[in-house]
Amino acid sequence: MTSIQDSKVKLYNGVEMPWVGLGVYRAGSGDEMVNAMKCALQAGYRSIDTATYYQNEHRVGQVVAESGIPREEIFLTSKVWNTDQGYRRTIEVFESSLEKLQTSYLDLYLIHWPQPETTFETWRAMEELYEKGKIRAIGVSNFMIPHLKRLMENSRIKPMVNQVEFHPELVQPELLQFCNENQIQMEAWRPIMKGRVNEIPLLQELAEKYGKSAVQVVLRWDIQKGVVTIPKSVTPERIISNADIFDFELSEDDVARIDGLDRNARIGEDPFQIKI
């Protein structure tokens, strides 16, 4: 891996997914978000993570269409929201997402959160869409080990990706090990803790040691942990900086020291409160 454009991991079905992408949660759908996406694509990003819930799929599609970058070079992810789950509804909202994103297929489609009554039927719809070639990879978001086990017991195709909250204060080693053992690629949302990584003394120390920012140290840690990462930013300087993590490597000792920051502390909601 020498740059953001050639940094890819191969999912168990052979599809290649970029290690680093741009998340657009709470980025809005106005000019600020559009300019952020344009900056990211110019900086070499080729993975964009959106969702029905974010209400900006139409702007993501517009920017991709106008970018001049061939569609097959961009890895587009979207997600089915909780209230849209169920077999028939999932197919309907998926087709709506395709229309908004101005594309005939998605590279990755995720169940946004596990849901007690509808997740298995949602997954059945996604399996069919995958087998029809409308999705290159299917996965889940915010699934813990019990959710993954239940889904795998009640499905034909196991998830290729599990996107979860993952950062230095929420390392979840058991979940990461389970995903690795089952060839499910972990992906981090909120990897920089809403910028709070800048306030952690150890990360400040490591930033000085490596001549990088605390954010860059954490994003590099993600990759060395084998976790895909999608930091969200609408600031051009930060977007460019977040991509500049391929010219250094953390020592094993420093990776372990960052692991030691784990407090099992969530910023977002706790998926363990949801049973399927």
Strands 47-49 and 16-18: unpaired
Q: Tokens 């908004």 sit at which residue?
A: 100
* 218 touches 203 (CB < 8 A): yes
DSSP SS3 for 137:
coil
Of 111, 124, 126, the C-alpha closest to 274 is 111
Q: How far apart are CA 21 and CA 23, in angstroms?
A: 7
Catalytic residue among 54, 109, 130, 210: 54
130 is catalytic: no
Torsion sign across C-alpha atoms 260, 265, 267, 271: positive
**Cα-based angle 148, 259, 242 (whole degrees, multiple of 5):** 85
268 contact partners, CB below 8 Å, separation of at least 6: 165, 189, 190
Q: Where are the beta strands (DSSP E) in the chain?
A: 8-10, 16-18, 22-23, 47-49, 75-80, 108-111, 138-141, 161-165, 185-189, 228-229
Helix (H, G, I), strand (E, B) or coil at 186: strand
Element of type H or E holding 220: helix 214-224
203, 212 Cβ separation under 8 angstroms: no
Bridge-based pairing of strands 161-165 and 16-18 is unpaired
Let me know the angle formed at the C-alpha of 35 by 6 and 61, rounded to the nearest 5 degrees. 70
Q: What are the catalytic residues? A: 54
